[in-house]
């Protein structure tokens, strides 16, 4: 049953109760036996070799992929390896999401509503759902992953509002250690097993988006900005339900040295969905030659496009919207 509450404090209280009552192991639904079996499994630690050595290894691996059958076999093997390294070899049971909605707001052409879903019993993923006020039939569903500014940044909210006004249902959710998750005490730099938590939360967030009656399950899109674009390959490599992905103002980075297992280069070769990357030519956060181009080159998708705009880290919003919609309609959804 979907409940509605105007009391945001009640929602946050549920999250704080989680911190007191739920361990990281129980959140992911792993048994003690499974945890012991996976205790020796680790993803490759980043910075273990030079960039040249990494490129040589990728080239050698790709030489073994000669057709669609060998590609799909390798993709399956790596996907299983990612889940094993994240201690998600045996995925937790998908328990009821029990969405709790609050603070429905109606604006010019769209609505916004806060929501909290249970990715596992007692563990909440928080976000905002944006919808157009006038529509018929099923719409494209966009799972929106924010940048370092977080979900509450006004520009991020405006972007989701425009997507809704253009005819999409958008779920803009908090990644671990941001937004309501940060208020509850989580820190993405210090949270143990953040890869496992974030991967499972993203899977359940897509479950929630896909469950909406006005969302077309054949038009599910991952949209990531900045840090959300950096984290995109992890979501795309472990969940094949996405029909397309848009990575805006992203690329490789060396910022996350404390948790190298979530470096994007582990996942980019296993991305198979159509991908559109859009970047600024003067982006100092993700430079063209050392950040953008290497990520784009590593993406395993046979249908990928990298567009550069005369901009710094953030690109003109109108150019982003128009380019993205045209690409989705003319290319990605036509595959």
Distance, CA of 128 to CA of 219 (rounded, Å)? 19
Residue-wise pLDDT for 77-130, tens only, equals: 777 777 776 677 777 889 999 999 999 999 999 999 999 999 989 888 999 999
pLDDT > 90: percent of the chain: 35
68-100 burial code (b ≥16 CB/10 A, e <16)? eeebeebbeebbebbbbbbbbebebeeeebebb
The confidence score (pLDDT) of residue 218 equals 94
Arithmetic mean of pLDDT, 141-156: 78
- pLDDT at residue 171 is higher than 70: yes
The confidence score (pLDDT) of residue 186 equals 74
Cα pseudo-dihedral 86, 87, 88, 93, rounded to 10: -140
Highest mean pLDDT among 5-14, 66-75, 254-263, 280-289: 280-289
The confidence score (pLDDT) of residue 261 equals 56
- pLDDT at residue 201 is higher than 60: yes
User: Is 0.85 topped by the overall pTM?
Assistant: no
Average pLDDT across the chain, whole number: 78
Q: What are the structure tokens assigned to 24, written together?
A: 């990281």
- pLDDT at residue 2 is higher than 70: no
pLDDT confidence tier of residue 270, bands split at 50, 70 and 90: confident
Residue whose token pair is 């181009």: 293
Distance, CA of 243 to CA of 276 (rounded, Å)? 12
pLDDT confidence tier of residue 326, bands split at 50, 70 and 90: very high
The answer to whether 159 touches 59, Cβ cutoff 8 Å, is no
Arithmetic mean of pLDDT, 43-68: 68
The answer to whether 278 touches 246, Cβ cutoff 8 Å, is yes
Arithmetic mean of pLDDT, 141-168: 83
Distance, CA of 96 to CA of 108 (rounded, Å)? 33
Arithmetic mean of pLDDT, 49-63: 71
**pLDDT: is 316 or 212 the higher one?**
212
Domains and their CATH numbers in the chain: 3-30+91-334 (3.40.50.1820)
Q: Are strands 110-120 and 123-132 parallel, antiparallel or unpaired?
A: antiparallel
The confidence score (pLDDT) of residue 238 equals 82
Highest mean pLDDT among 224-238, 263-277, 290-304: 290-304
pLDDT confidence tier of residue 260, bands split at 50, 70 and 90: low
Arithmetic mean of pLDDT, 319-332: 91
- pLDDT at residue 50 is higher than 90: no
Arithmetic mean of pLDDT, 184-193: 70
Distance, CA of 148 to CA of 160 (rounded, Å)? 16
- pLDDT at residue 27 is higher than 60: no
Q: 330 to each of 163, 301, 327, how far by Cα in Å?
A: 17, 17, 5
- pLDDT at residue 318 is higher than 80: yes
- pLDDT at residue 321 is higher than 80: yes
The confidence score (pLDDT) of residue 134 equals 86
Arithmetic mean of pLDDT, 324-333: 91
**pLDDT: is 297 or 26 the higher one?**
297
The confidence score (pLDDT) of residue 216 equals 95
């Amino acid at each position: 049953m979907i409940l509605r509450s105007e009391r945001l404090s009640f929602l946050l209280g549920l999250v704080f109760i989680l911190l007191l009552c739920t361990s990281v192991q129980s959140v992911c639904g792993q048994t003690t036996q499974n945890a012991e079996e996976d205790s020796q499994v680790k993803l490759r630690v980043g910075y273990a070799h030079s960039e040249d050595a990494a490129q040589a290894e990728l080239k050698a691996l790709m030489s073994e992929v000669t057709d669609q059958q060998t590609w799909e076999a390798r993709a399956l093997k790596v996907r299983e390896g990612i889940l094993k390294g994240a201690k998600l070899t045996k995925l937790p049971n998908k328990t009821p999401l029990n969405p709790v909605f609050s603070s429905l707001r109606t604006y010019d052409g769209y609505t916004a509503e806060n929501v909290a879903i249970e990715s596992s019993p007692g563990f909440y993923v928080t976000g905002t759902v944006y919808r157009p006020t006038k529509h018929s039939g099923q719409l494209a569903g966009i799972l929106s992953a924010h940048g370092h500014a977080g979900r509450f940044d006004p520009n991020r909210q405006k972007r989701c509002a425009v997507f809704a006004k253009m005819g999409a249902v958008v779920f803009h959710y908090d990644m671990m250690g941001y937004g309501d998750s940060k208020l509850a005490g989580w820190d993405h730099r210090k949270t143990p097993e953040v890869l496992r938590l974030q991967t499972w939360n993203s899977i359940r967030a897509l479950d929630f988006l896909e469950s909406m009656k006005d969302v077309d399950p054949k038009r599910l899109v991952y949209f990531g900005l900045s840090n959300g674009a950096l984290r995109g390959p992890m979501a795309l490599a472990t969940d094949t339900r996405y029909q397309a992905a848009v990575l805006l103002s992203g690329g490789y980075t060396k910022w996350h040295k404390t948790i190298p297992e979530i470096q994007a280069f582990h996942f980019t070769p296993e991305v198979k969905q159509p991908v559109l990357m859009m970047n600024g030519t003067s982006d100092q956060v993700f430079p063209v030659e050392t950040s953008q181009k290497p990520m784009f080159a590593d993406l395993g998708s046979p249908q990928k496009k990298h567009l550069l705009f005369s901009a710094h880290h953030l690109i003109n919003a109108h150019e982003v919207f128009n380019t993205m919609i045209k690409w989705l309609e003319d290319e990605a959804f036509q595959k």
